[in-house]
């Protein structure tokens, strides 16, 4: 009976360990919506815009005269779930215990490539997947920039539509308007 309980406990721990998150979940889950939006909405923002919405980069590198890459590094401890199981032991045999963990600390490198001072491309690297989203740990770097970019795009058409008043160059028309009736 004792041996059977121990085997059941060990089998249970083995199965619980199989429930951990795989390293590459891209075939199972999709990229986080905010991160996916950042890939297109942030293109065209200036270096000053990125500093305003994401802060100063962790590091940067010049590539030629007109191109540079800024990197933002974020490290996040993820919560862990530990499952403990012990066997019932009677007598001098100590009980066997074990745990399995789900989730470890993760990190995200957000790389932003600038050409001529404007965002050209954004990419993400690191142990940055969550159980529900690819690149899920990268959201906090770009979420404010997505909102910022959307606001900037809404402001630009209003500026482009408003036309400055152009003075009339016809002197005769200007005189007829200025005469009191």
pLDDT, one tens digit per residue, over 93-151 is 555 555 555 554 699 999 999 999 999 999 999 999 888 889 999 999 999 999 999 99
How many beta carbons lie within 10 A of that of residue 48, not counting itself?
A: 9
pLDDT (0 to 100) of residue 91: 54
Check pLDDT > 70 for residue 154.
yes
Check pLDDT > 90 for residue 21.
no
pLDDT (0 to 100) of residue 57: 97
pLDDT (0 to 100) of residue 111: 98
Distance CA 16, CA 85 (A): 11
Chain centroid to CA 118: how far? Answer: 19
pLDDT (0 to 100) of residue 12: 55
- Crossing angle between the packed helical segments 139-161 and 47-54, to the nearest 10 degrees: 130
Distance CA 39, CA 41 (A): 6
Distance CA 128, CA 54 (A): 18
Residue 170 φ/ψ, nearest 5 degrees? -85, 110
């Amino acid at each position: 009976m004792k041996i059977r309980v121990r085997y059941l406990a060990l089998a249970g721990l083995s199965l619980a360990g199989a429930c951990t998150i795989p390293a590459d979940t891209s075939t199972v889950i999709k990229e986080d919506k905010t991160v996916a939006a950042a890939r297109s909405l942030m293109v065209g923002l200036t270096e000053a815009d990125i500093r305003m919405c994401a802060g100063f980069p962790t590091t940067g590198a010049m590539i030629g005269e007109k191109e540079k890459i800024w990197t933002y590094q974020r490290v996040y401890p993820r919560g862990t779930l530990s499952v403990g199981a012990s066997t019932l032991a009677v007598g001098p045999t100590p009980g066997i215990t074990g745990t399995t963990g789900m989730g470890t600390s993760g990190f995200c490198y957000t790389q932003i490539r600038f050409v001529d001072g404007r965002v050209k491309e954004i990419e993400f690297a690191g142990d940055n997947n969550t159980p529900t989203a690819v690149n899920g740990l990268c959201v906090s770097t770009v979420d404010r920039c997505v909102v910022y970019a959307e606001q900037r795009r809404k402001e630009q058409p209003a500026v482009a539509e408003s036309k400055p008043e152009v003075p009339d160059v016809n002197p005769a028309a200007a005189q007829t308007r200025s005469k009191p009736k």
